[in-house]
């Protein structure tokens, strides 16, 4: 029996790292944490662990089954690869934020109740935003705030759904929900925000490109895939997810094809690839759910390789736009990075012998088996766009490209540090292993696998799409590489404009109204304050008004208050008291008689 949940291995490790002053020891601890977590996972039999009582409810921190273990394994694997890639970073705060992010994601994966789920869900958002802010640019600061606002909004929606669910059922168990209830709709909406389902997706291509070089690698793996996990856990077979996922797959590809910023292009492909997973969850069959889990596993690996490759380019050249990189012969200066990147590119493009072919083919086959021909066609079209943009356009523009006469050499460009090469290398190797030997992946999937990707039909269909896409790219490559630097407007335009309108309203009309109210009341406030120091001023004003003498309150208040001016002789008070008592006695005797 394991004494410590995997989530807390990362959380405690994240808090321990800054306390160690020896840099080599810090690095060793950072790399040891995922190893300890993996050993813990190997020793975890299926069941329910780490239960505790809280406010008359049973919290479950360890619901262990094949679905949760599948996501936990890949999250731990990618945390090791990502930390190896980032181990040269001296700023320990980045490592702390990364491991809090990983730990909270594992907390979500193993949560068996809604309270624990929400607790770790919010830590995910809070920790990951620092991986954006640590880039320390104006753009990353603004993107981080937008990222935080969107996820806080999503968290509030999720919490509302949880409260309604608990109020209606009296249970906090995290199980499949009935979508006919309002609580389930709120919960689904909160999950869809983290899954980056259009039009709720714009936070992803807005924030991920602005993160740190190493932090963005972590961000590609956890937020959206944890959303896929909770959808598979609680909304499998929900029909609306089929169409939302297929639309995601095409939507992300369309924006990626027109994008020139290399990390923004890859970010749109996260939207597209998560669309395959959401669609599979919506189909809900055993093959589809296996496909969703397998594609999440494979996507985390190849997307990390892609982001690590582009991160290496940005770090070694200082440039992040295709137009600033094409024609500068980077293939001569960074050939290893190019080779490792292409492993990720072939994987995401579903080239046979790479892992994306195994998982993506399973999802498309599940759509065909469920008699969804339109969905099948949409997923095939998205696959074409994926190869066009990630497998052809991006490497051609970054490493090759046709010079237009304005290119300057990047003399300082070279291969990245050894640890970054090792991180990319391990990720690329796993992409190849799981592609050539899919049985290694099938053993981890939640249901028995009866699907064989390497059939003649699947191979020929895939190669046809790839060859035709390559031919089209080669014919129109100059047009695809042409253009100017620009920002592709997305649905974030709406909340950017709304936010700017709110800001302008606060700065001008609302602030002007505040100034008017303040100026109107400030003089009266001062008068009341002065009157408290001169209590007889009102009586004097009344007296002067009756006597016809013209005096203003301001004139009366200007004179300093002196109690001697208003003090009466003692005899007057005694005389008034005697008169009062005499009159009272007369009235009393008359009434008594």
From CA 29, how far away is CA 12, in angstroms rounded? 11
The predicted structure's pLDDT at residue 483: 72
Q: What is the pLDDT of residues 49-71, one digit of tens each?
A: 888 888 888 899 999 999 999 99
Average pLDDT, the chain: 89
Kindly tell me if the per-residue pLDDT of 165 is higher than 80.
yes
Confidence of residue 169 (pLDDT cuts 50, 70, 90): very high
With 0.95 as the threshold, say if the pTM is over it: no
State the average pLDDT over residues 17-28.
91
Confidence of residue 166 (pLDDT cuts 50, 70, 90): very high
From CA 34, how far away is CA 79, in angstroms rounded? 7
Q: What is the pLDDT of residues 544-572, one digit of tens each?
A: 666 666 666 566 566 665 656 656 666 77
Q: CB neighbours of 141 closer than 8 A, spacing ≥ 6?
A: 133
Q: What size, in residues, is the chain?
A: 593
User: With 0-12 CB in 10 A as exposed, 13-18 as middle and 19+ as buried, what is 408?
Assistant: exposed
Residue 61 parent element (H or E): strand 57-64
Of the two residues 498 and 394, the one the predictor is more confident about is: 394
Q: What is the pLDDT of residues 185-244, one digit of tens each?
A: 999 999 999 999 999 899 999 999 999 999 999 999 999 999 999 999 999 999 999 999
82-116 burial by CB neighbour count: b if 16+ within 10 A, else e? bbbbbbebeebebbbbbbbbbbbbbbbbbbbbbbb
Of the two residues 527 and 468, the one the predictor is more confident about is: 468
From CA 106, how far away is CA 239, in angstroms rounded? 28
Is residue 337 within 8 Å of residue 85, measured between CB atoms?
Answer: no
Q: CB atoms < 10 A from the CB of 582, how many?
A: 10
Q: CB neighbours of 181 closer than 8 A, spacing ≥ 6?
A: 164, 165, 168
Of the two residues 1 and 426, the one the predictor is more confident about is: 426
State the average pLDDT over residues 464-470.
92
**Contacts by 17-25, CB closer than 8 A, 24 or more apart:** 17/92, 17/95, 17/96, 17/99, 18/92, 18/93, 18/96, 23/90
Residue % of the chain over a pLDDT of 90: 66
The predicted structure's pLDDT at residue 69: 96
From CA 514, how far away is CA 93, in angstroms rounded? 41
Q: What is the pLDDT of residues 329-342, one digit of tens each?
A: 888 899 999 999 99
From CA 44, how far away is CA 502, in angstroms rounded? 51
The predicted structure's pLDDT at residue 551: 64
Kindly tell me if the per-residue pLDDT of 516 is higher than 90.
no
Query: What phi and psi, each to the nearest 5 degrees, are found at residue 6?
Result: -55, -35
State which of 517-521, 528-532, 534-538 shows the largest mean pLDDT.
Answer: 517-521
Residue 1 parent element (H or E): none
The predicted structure's pLDDT at residue 242: 96
Q: What is the pLDDT of residues 285-336, one digit of tens each?
A: 999 999 999 999 999 999 999 999 999 999 999 888 888 888 788 888 999 9
CA nearest neighbour of 294 among 343, 350, 249, 252:
350
The predicted structure's pLDDT at residue 1: 42
State the average pLDDT over residues 238-257.
94
Where in the chain are the domains? 1-227, 236-493, 508-592
State the average pLDDT over residues 367-389.
94
Kindly tell me if the per-residue pLDDT of 385 is higher than 90.
yes
State the average pLDDT over residues 363-372.
94
> Which residue bears the tokens 């321990």?
16
Query: What phi and psi, each to the nearest 5 degrees, are found at residue 273?
Result: -70, -35
Kindly tell me if the per-residue pLDDT of 407 is higher than 60.
no
């Amino acid at each position: 029996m394991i004494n410590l949940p995997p989530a807390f291995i990362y959380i405690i490790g994240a808090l321990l790292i800054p306390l160690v002053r020896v840099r080599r020891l810090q690095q060793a601890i950072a790399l040891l944490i995922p190893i300890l977590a993996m050993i813990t996972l190997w020793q975890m039999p299926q069941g329910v662990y780490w239960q505790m009582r809280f406010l008359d409810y049973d919290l479950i921190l360890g619901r262990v089954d094949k679905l949760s273990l599948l996501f936990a394994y890949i999250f731990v694997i990618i945390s090791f690869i990502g930390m190896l890639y980032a181990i040269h970073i001296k700023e320990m705060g980045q490592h702390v934020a990364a491991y809090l992010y990983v730990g909270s994601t594992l907390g979500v994966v193993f949560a068996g109740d809604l309270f624990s789920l929400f607790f770790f869900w919010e830590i995910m958002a809070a920790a990951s935003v620092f991986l954006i802010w640590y880039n320390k640019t104006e753009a990353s600061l603004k993107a981080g705030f937008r990222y935080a606002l969107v996820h806080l909004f999503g968290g509030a929606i999720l919490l509302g759904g949880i409260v309604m669910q608990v109020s209606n059922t009296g249970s906090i168990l995290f199980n499949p929900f009935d979508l006919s209830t309002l609580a389930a709709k709120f919960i689904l909406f909160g999950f869809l925000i983290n899954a980056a389902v259009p039009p709720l997706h714009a936070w992803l291509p807005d924030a991920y490109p602005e993160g740190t070089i190493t932090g963005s690698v972590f961000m590609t793996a956890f937020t959206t895939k944890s959303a896929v996990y909770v959808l598979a856990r609680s909304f499998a077979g929900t029909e609306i997810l089929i169409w939302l996922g297929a639309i995601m797959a095409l939507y992300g590809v369309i924006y990626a094809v027109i994008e020139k910023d290399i990390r923004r292009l890859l970010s749109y492909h996260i939207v597209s690839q998560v669309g395959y997973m959401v669609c599979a969850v919506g189909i809900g069959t055993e093959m589809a759910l296996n496909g969703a889990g397998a594609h999440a596993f494979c996507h985390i690996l190849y997307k990390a390789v892609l982001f690590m490759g582009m991160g290496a380019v940005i770090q070694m050249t200082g440039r992040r736009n295709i137009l600033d990189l094409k024609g500068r012969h980077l293939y001569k200066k960074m050939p290893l990075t190019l080779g490792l990147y292409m492993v990720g590119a072939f994987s995401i493009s579903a080239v046979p012998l790479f892992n994306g072919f195994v998982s993506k083919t399973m999802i498309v086959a599940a759509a065909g088996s469920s008699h969804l021909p339109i969905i099948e066609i949409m997923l095939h079209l998205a696959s074409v766009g994926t190869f066009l943009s990630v497998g052809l356009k991006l490497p051609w523009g970054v490493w090759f490209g046709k010079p237009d006469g304005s290119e300057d050499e990047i003399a300082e460009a070279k291969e990245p540090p050894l640890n970054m090469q090792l991180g990319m290398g391990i990720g690329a190797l796993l992409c190849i292993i799981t592609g050539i030997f899919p049985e290694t992946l099938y053993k981890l999937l939640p249901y028995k696998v009866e699907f064989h990707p390497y059939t003649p039909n699947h191979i020929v269909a895939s190669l046809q799409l790839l060859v035709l896409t390559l031919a089209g790219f080669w014919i129109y490559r100059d047009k695809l590489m042409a253009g100017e630097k620009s920002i592709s407007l997305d649905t974030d335009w709406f909340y950017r404009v709304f936010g700017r309108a709110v800001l302008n309203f606060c700065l001008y009309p609302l602030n002007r109204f505040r100034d008017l109210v303040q100026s109107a009341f400030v003089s009266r406030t001062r008068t009341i304050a002065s009157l408290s120091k001169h209590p007889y001023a009102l009586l004097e004003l009344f007296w002067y008004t009756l006597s016809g003498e013209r005096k203003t309150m301001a004139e009366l208040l200007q004179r300093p208050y002196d109690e001697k001016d208003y003090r009466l002789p003692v005899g007057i008070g005694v005389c008034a008291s005697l008169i009062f008592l005499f009159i009272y006695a007369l009235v009393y005797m008359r009434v008594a008689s």
